[in-house]
Structures are given as structure tokens and as C-alpha cells.
A and B are shown apart, each in its own frame.
Chain A
């Protein structure tokens, strides 16, 4: 009986410590910037409809596309204006965040998200690249 109580209090103390530690976790790089894409492209890049999914696209792909957009702004493309808002370094952070699902390592792309690369790409959003 006594032992169980001790274990429990030990466990709850641990839970408290874990909560306290979690409360002190600093945000991963790029997360706040990437979150600014979610208004149109869905929370964590998982668009619900009509817009391109960004989750699981490769870092290189997102980076290259955004740089192309801001280099040649087409007046009728809202996304080109958005791309123009960010520095190359910021775009790199955003691309890396979506490619890795927020994990800081850039070498391992999570396999669970890599399968979604093309599923969310609508024909209209793909067409913006033929410039």
C-alpha cells in the first residue's frame, strides 16, 4: 500500500516535471513563419480544400517555387505577392519546416508525410508554374 502510494506520488511528481519541462520548450526554427502559410494552405500545410497542400513537399521544391514566384511576379497571381514578402533565408526556413514536419533535422523526411506530396495539388495551383 505504502509502496503504491510512493510510486504514484513519484509518477505525479514526474508528470509535473515533464509538464514544467514542456512549458519551457522553445519553438523550433521556422514554425512561426510556416504557420503564416496555414490561413490558405491548412494547419501544418494540410489544406482542407481548393488549395495546395504543403505538408511533405520537399524542401528544395518549396524553396525553388517560392523563389521563382518572387523573381517574376505575375499581377494575377496572389501567391507571387505573398512570396515577395519573405527573404530567401525565411523561405528556406519555411521550406525546411514543411519538409520535415517541424523536426529540426533536414536529412530525414518523415515517410508518413512524403506520400502526400502530390495529392493536394490542384490543377489550378500547379498551372502557376508554367511561366
Chain B
């Protein structure tokens, strides 16, 4: 946290903080357009910026993002196999700027002063906000001995996606590929299992007679159990060796050895996906509170406002409502947050009954895909987002139709989020 604790106390004592947060909004809005600042232009941040501007162009939106384009994790496992090129998953920000008038700042946020409501960027730019939205995605725990420059996790898409493809392409005939799955919750519940299937499919199609050892820190398949158990036990029975409750304790890549709670494993190639937590800016802003076990930002699901620091909202993978960490869901939450911000500047309370949903398509082979879907509704009694009965489901069987629908879904999700 960048502001000193003392300063905050003094401000609080003098009532300045209370005044700053409760000044009638009319006064602010009449003085100037309300200012929303967003950190991170992934699925969550891009959607938020677009929808606030589309729904209310009287609100000024500044979007801070160091990367010139967004490389989508969605469909990135198909870049790993060579089925798609990087251009398919590279999404531009032009429309956010040109069509919706979002102010893009090509920089990295490094500090947040939540009392004076100022974000500082790497280049020393200071940007004031009335409402701040954090959408920085995920950060990783260190795995002892793991150098992700050598062994990419590719759990953020980009250069690492191609580095993982290179790993796969270099597996020798009869070789062993070891991949690991972190404890839940992590980004994209079915994602690691999808990746295991596509690694196996690629080895089979290339007639490498290799093996894929899947080390799952969880005691069972986390998402789409029917689909993935079937895939592991039948489709890929000769390739995939699925090992639940297996935790990577360290990596010794000089000796091509992965150490686990069950002992060492020799590998020719590896994809270690580390345990995950909220993005760094969430931690820097003090949004995780004082319990060191908290890994995701606690928020009010009506507005996604932090329950720890006022006027900072957290959406996408970094928030901790327990809803699945997917791009589809990040987009969904961004709309609830955008609507709540618009109502806030209009002096209104958030929608009391927000709904969100997720729909993910997972390729299972090079020609078939499965899907996973759920709808969440706000439960006023508990104050939580809860799955609506009968909506959580996986496709009964992977199919070519689903594989085709996957591209229609992805194209619409990409466009709804970024253009």
C-alpha cells in the first residue's frame, strides 16, 4: 500500500475521508465529467471500458494497459497444437479508442493512492479517478526451481504460448510430457484438462508414441468430470496417465526432473502451471485485507466494489466471489460493474438482482469440442452469487458441431469484449 497509514488516520480523524466519499454526486458531476480509471485491458477491463462508454458517454474512461494488443488465452491451446496462428487470438484495442472514445494509456500502473484517488504509472504519470476498476488478471506463486523463461506456464497467452508449442514440437518419439494442474480456484477450470487432451491428441497424430503425465494438485477433475474422465480413460488411455492429488514441490530442469509429493518424475518436456492469486495491483492496493490466506479480492457482487477499500472495484479473474475464472465470466461481471458505476454517478443504488453467466468451449480432439455452462444469480439472503439450479452442465459428449460452435462463440465474445 502506497499511502502511509498515518496520513490515512489523520484524514479519517479530520473527517476528510468521510467527506470525500460522501460529497453529493451532483456536485462532482456538475463540476466535470465523472472519471472512471481502469487498470488492465483483458476481457474484464476492455468490456468494462466499452460498456461504460457505450451506455453513458458522459462518463470519462481511462484504460491503463502496457501491452499494445491483447493475446487471448481462449483458443490459445489450439495455437499450441498448430491448428491456429497467433493472429486469431491477437485482439486490438482500436475500437475501444475510436468507436467508444475510451482513453488508452499505454503504461503499467504501479501504485494506487486510495485516499487521494490517484493511480501512478511506471512512467510517472499520475491519473486521478472518481471510481477505479482493477482488472489485472492473475499472478502466480513461485514454484521452487521453476524458471518460466525456460519452462513456460503459458497460462497468460503471448510469447509463452509459442514457447509451449516449441516444447511440444520437440518431444522425442516415446518421450514423456509432464504437465501439472494447480489447486482450485485457478484461471479457467477446464483449461488444464483441455490442454492435456490436446497434448495427447498431438502426440497421437504425430505417431510419437509418447506419454502425457498429468499431475493434478486437486483430488479429482475440477471441471467437466464426465468429459475428461472419458477422454483420459478411453480416447487417450494409451497416452494420458492422470494422477490426482499430485503436487509439484520443486523443479530441477538441469536434470529434467519434476519433484512431487509422490517422488521424482523424469520428463522430456514439461508444462508446470503454478498456483494462482489475484493480480499484483490488487495486493498493492491492500484489497486482500489482513488475512494472509486471502488470495482473491473480496467484493460486493452487486457492484464488484472492494469490501476493504471504497471506490475501487475488482472484476475478472482477480475478484473473489467464487464464480469461475473465465473470460466469458469476466465480460459478464464487467457489465454488472459498468451498470453499477453508471447508477452510482446517477445517485442510484446498484441493480439488486444481477445475473452473470459463463459458457466455455473446450476442444477435446482436433475435430471435436465439449462445452461447460452455468448461470449465476444474486442470493440476497447470503449476499453471494449462486449457480441457478439446472444451469450448471457439461456437454453430454464432445462433437464436431460443438467444435464449430466454439468459433462462433469465441468470435462473438472477442467482439463483445474488445470491439
- Residues of A whose CB lies within 8 Å of any CB of B are 16-17, 19-20, 22-27, 31-33, 35-36, 38-43, 47-51, 73, 75-76, 78, 81-82, 84-86, 90, 122, 124
Q: Verify B396–A75 contact, CB threshold 8 A.
A: yes
Q: Is the CB of A84 within 8 A of B359?
A: no
> B residues 367-403 with Cβ under 8 Å of A?
371, 373-377, 388-393, 395-397, 401
Contact B408 A23 (CB under 8 A): no
Q: Is B241 engaged at the interface, CB distance under 8 Å to the other chain?
A: no
Residues of B within 8 A of A81 (CB): 373-375, 390-393
Among B339, B345, B404, B407, contact of A23 (Cβ-Cβ < 8 Å): B345
What B residues does A39 contact at CB under 8 A?
328, 331-332, 357, 359, 409, 412-413, 416
Measured in the bound complex, the distance between the Cα atoms of B335 and A7 in whole Å is 39
Chain A residues whose C-beta falls within 8 Å of the C-beta of B56 in the assembled complex = 22-23, 25
Q: Is B336 an interface residue (CB 8 A)?
A: yes
B219: CB under 8 A from chain A?
Answer: no
Task: Decide: A27 and B375 in contact? CB cutoff 8 A.
Answer: no
Q: Which of A31, A47, A51, A73 contacts B339 (CB 8 A)?
A: A31
A22 touches B57 (CB 8 A): yes
Given A23-B346, A26-B343, A50-B408, the answer on whether A43 and B415 have CB atoms closer than 8 Å is: yes
Contact present for A42 and B415 (CB under 8 Å): yes
Chain B positions within 8 Å of A85 at CB level: 355, 357, 375-377, 388, 391
A73 vs B34: C-alpha distance in the bound complex, in angstroms?
Answer: 45
Complex: A50 Cα to B339 Cα, angstroms: 28
Q: Supply 24 A–B pairs (Cβ within 8 Å), ascending by A.
A: A20-B30, A20-B58, A23-B34, A23-B58, A23-B59, A24-B29, A31-B55, A33-B355, A35-B339, A36-B332, A38-B416, A39-B416, A41-B412, A75-B393, A76-B395, A78-B359, A81-B390, A81-B391, A81-B392, A84-B375, A85-B357, A85-B376, A86-B375, A86-B388
The 4 closest A-B pairs by CB, nearest first: A50-B408, A85-B375, A22-B58, A23-B58
Report the Cα distance A33→B355, complex, angstroms.
Answer: 7
Which residues on B sit within 8 Å (CB–CB) of A35? 51, 335, 339
Asked if A78 and B29 sit within 8 Å, CB to CB, the answer is no
Chain A residues with Cβ under 8 A from B356's Cβ? 36
A47 to B410, CA, bound (A): 11
Which A residue's beta carbon lies closest to that of B57? A22
Interchain nearest-CB distance for A53 vs B (Å): 10
- Among residues of B, the one whose C-beta sits closest to the C-beta of A17 is B30
A36 near B355 with CB under 8 A, answer: yes
Q: Is the CB of B405 closer than 8 A to any CB of chain A?
A: yes
CA–CA, A25 and B339, complex, Å: 11
B355 contacts A86, C-beta separation under 8 Å: yes
Residues B412 and A50 in contact, CB atoms below 8 Å apart: yes
Instruction: A36-B355, A78-B373, A81-B393 given; name 8 further pairs at CB < 8 Å.
Output: A23-B59, A39-B412, A39-B413, A50-B412, A51-B412, A75-B396, A78-B359, A122-B408
Q: Which residue on chain B has the smallest CB distance to residue A75?
A: B396
Number of interface residues of B (CB under 8 A): 56
Q: How far is the CA of A36 from the CA of B397 in the complex (A)?
A: 26
How far is B53's CA from A23's CA once the two chains are assembled, in angstroms? 11
Residues of chain B contacted by A20 (CB below 8 angstroms): 26, 29-30, 58
Q: Which of B57, B357, B376, B377 neighbours the largest number of chain A CB atoms within 10 Å of its CB? A: B357
Task: Give A99 to B230 CA distance when docked, in angstroms.
Answer: 43
Q: B: which residues have CB within 8 A of A? A: 26, 29-30, 33-34, 51, 54-59, 328, 331-332, 335-336, 339, 342-343, 345-348, 351, 354-357, 359, 371, 373-377, 388-393, 395-397, 401, 404-405, 407-409, 411-413, 415-416
CB distance from A79 to the nearest CB of B (A): 9
The residues of A that contact B343 with a CB separation of less than 8 Å are: 26-27
A81 → chain B, closest Cβ, in Å? 5
B368 to A: closest C-beta gap in Å: 13
**A130 to B33 Cα, complex, angstroms:** 51
Provide the bound-state CA to CA distance between A75 and B346, in Å.
Answer: 43
Inter-subunit contact B373/A26 (CB<8 Å): no
Q: Are B346 and A25 in contact (CB under 8 A)?
A: yes
Complex Cα distance A22/B409, Å? 33
Asked if B375 and A50 sit within 8 Å, CB to CB, the answer is: no
Shortest CB distance B355–A (Å): 6
- Among B356, B393, B395, residue most surrounded by chain A Cβ atoms (within 10 Å): B393
| Residue of A33, A81, A122 with most chain B CB atoms under a 10 A cut-off | A81
C-alpha gap A32/B390 in the complex (Å): 22
